[in-house]
Amino acid sequence: MKRFRQPAGGGSVRRSLVLHAAAFLVTLAACPVCPSRSLARGLTVMLAEPPRSMDPADQNATATRSILAPFYESLVRQDADGSIRPWLATAWSVSPDGMAWIFALRPGIVFHDGTPCDADAVVASLRRLLDPGAALAGAGAFRATIASVRRQGASVVITLIHPYADLLSLLSITQAAIVSPLAAARGTLGRHADGTGPFMFVDWQDGAHVGARANPRYWGAPPALTRIEWVWSSEPSVTNMALQTGDADAVMPLAPVFAGLYASGQPAAARAVIHGGRGAAQFWAALNTTLPPLDDARVRRALGLAIDRQALVAGLLHGYGRPACHALTPDIAGSEPCAPGQDRADPAAARALLQQAGLARGFSVTVVVQEPEEPIAEALQAMWRRIGVTLRIRRQEAGVWVQSAFAGPADKARQDIGMVLTSWSAPFIADLQLRPLYASASAAPAGANLGFYRNREIDAAIDRAARTGDPAARARDYAAIQDRLARDAPILPLYVQDNLYGVRQGLDGVQSLPDGEIAVTSARWAAP
Band of the pLDDT at 11, cuts 50, 70, 90? Answer: very low
Reference 304, options 358, 352, 342; nearest CA is: 342
Strand partners, 93: 102
Q: If you average pLDDT over residues 123-127, what whole number do you get?
A: 98
Phi and psi at 209, nearest 5°, equal -165, 165
Q: If you average pLDDT over residues 55-71, what whole number do you get?
A: 94
Reference 52, options 174, 195, 196; nearest CA is: 174
Consecutive H or E run containing 284: strand 272-287
Position with higher pLDDT, 143 vs 15: 143
Consecutive H or E run containing 519: strand 518-519
For the cut 60, the answer to whether the pLDDT of residue 27 exceeds it is no
Q: Give the pLDDT confidence of 156-205 residue by residue, as tens digits.
A: 999 999 999 999 999 999 999 999 999 999 999 999 999 999 999 999 99
Q: Give the pLDDT confidence of 220-274 residue by residue, as tens digits.
A: 999 999 999 999 998 899 999 999 999 999 999 999 999 999 999 999 999 999 9
Lowest mean pLDDT: which of 3-7, 146-150, 367-371, 383-387? 3-7
Q: If you average pLDDT over residues 84-97, what whole number do you get?
A: 97
Query: What one-character DSSP code corresponds to residue 9?
Result: -
For the cut 70, the answer to whether the pLDDT of residue 478 exceeds it is yes
Task: Give the rounded percent of residues in the chain with a pLDDT score beyond 70.
Answer: 92
Kindly calculate the radius of gyration of the chain based on its CA atoms and give it in whole angstroms.
23
Q: If you average pLDDT over residues 474-499, what whole number do you get?
A: 96
| pLDDT computed for residue 206 by the predictor | 92
What's the whole-number average pLDDT of the chain?
Answer: 91
Q: In 3-state terms, what secondary structure has residue 343?
A: coil
| pLDDT computed for residue 269 by the predictor | 95
| pLDDT computed for residue 33 by the predictor | 33
Apex 309 CA angle, 304 and 313, nearest 5: 150
Q: What is the pTM of this model?
A: 0.84
Counted residue by residue, the chain has a size of 528
Phi and psi at 413, nearest 5°, equal -65, -40
| pLDDT computed for residue 218 by the predictor | 98
Band of the pLDDT at 528, cuts 50, 70, 90? Answer: low
Q: In 3-state terms, what secondary structure has residue 439?
A: coil
Q: Give the pLDDT confidence of 30-54 residue by residue, as tens digits.
A: 333 333 444 448 999 999 989 999 9
The type of residue at 486 is A
